[in-house]
Amino acid sequence: MNILFAVLSKKERVKQLDMKKERTFVMIKPDAVQRGLIGEIISRFERKGIKIVAMKLLLVDKQLAEKHYDIHRGKPFFEPTVEFITSSPVVAMVLEGNNVIETVRNMMGTTDPQKAAIGTIRGDFGQYIGRNIVHGSDSTENAEFEIKLWFKPEEIVEYTRIDESWLFE
């Protein structure tokens, strides 16, 4: 750490490190729930130091699924994706952390598990684009929209994790 950095206030250091506290919406899809991968996936986020601020297991109805995938309406995979997402329970979560939207997307890997890098969630556990294990918001706008769609404000919990001071200066 350089001397200048050390004398900066915490707020200034955070700014210099380009830290951005964000929230993202993550869903563990029916294939991963059925295959017993809930713990494995949540564990990866926990070990990265990402905070879970909301979580529930639910059977998704058609209306919610269609709203969630509305941006893909009209595409050939829209109907099959809605059918898949409503076929069996999912785990819905709100995750919070520094640049968490991009971090989670990187941890998930690219949409097609065949092409996703080994070491990513999709790359390690999936084989087919229509069964790709996990969803994560792709932008701040979509994260905001999806969090509002899936969770009531009172379902999101503010708290401090004990390891926060060990993850950041």
State residue 26 phi and psi, 5-degree precision: -125, 140
Largest Cα–Cα separation, the chain: 57
Q: Which residue is nearest to ligand IDP (CB)?
A: 111
Of residues 79 and 169, the one with the C-beta less far from ligand IDP: 79
Contact pick of 66, 90, 132, 151 for ligand IDP (by CB under 6 A) = 132
Contact pick of 46, 124, 138, 144 for ligand IDP (by CB under 6 A) = 138
- Candidates 135, 136, 147, 150; catalytic one: 135
Of residues 138 and 144, the one with the C-beta less far from Mg ion: 138
Of residues 27 and 53, the one with the C-beta less far from ligand IDP: 27
CB atoms within 10 A of CB 155: 14
Helix (H, G, I), strand (E, B) or coil at 138: coil
Strands 51-58 and 90-98: antiparallel
Amino acid 37 reads L
Site map 87..116 versus ligand IDP, x via CB under 6 A: ------------------------x-----
Q: Which helix (H) or strand (E) holds 102?
A: helix 100-108
Helix (H, G, I), strand (E, B) or coil at 52: strand
Using CB under 6 A as the binding rule, whether residue 77 contacts ligand IDP is answered as yes
Closest contact distance (angstroms) between CB of 51 and ligand IDP is 22
CB atoms within 10 A of CB 152: 8
| Active-site annotation holds for 68 | no
What does the block give as tokens for 48?
């990265």
List of residues contacting ligand IDP (CB under 6 A) = 72, 77, 81, 111, 129-130, 132, 135, 138
Q: Which residues are part of the catalytic machinery?
A: 135
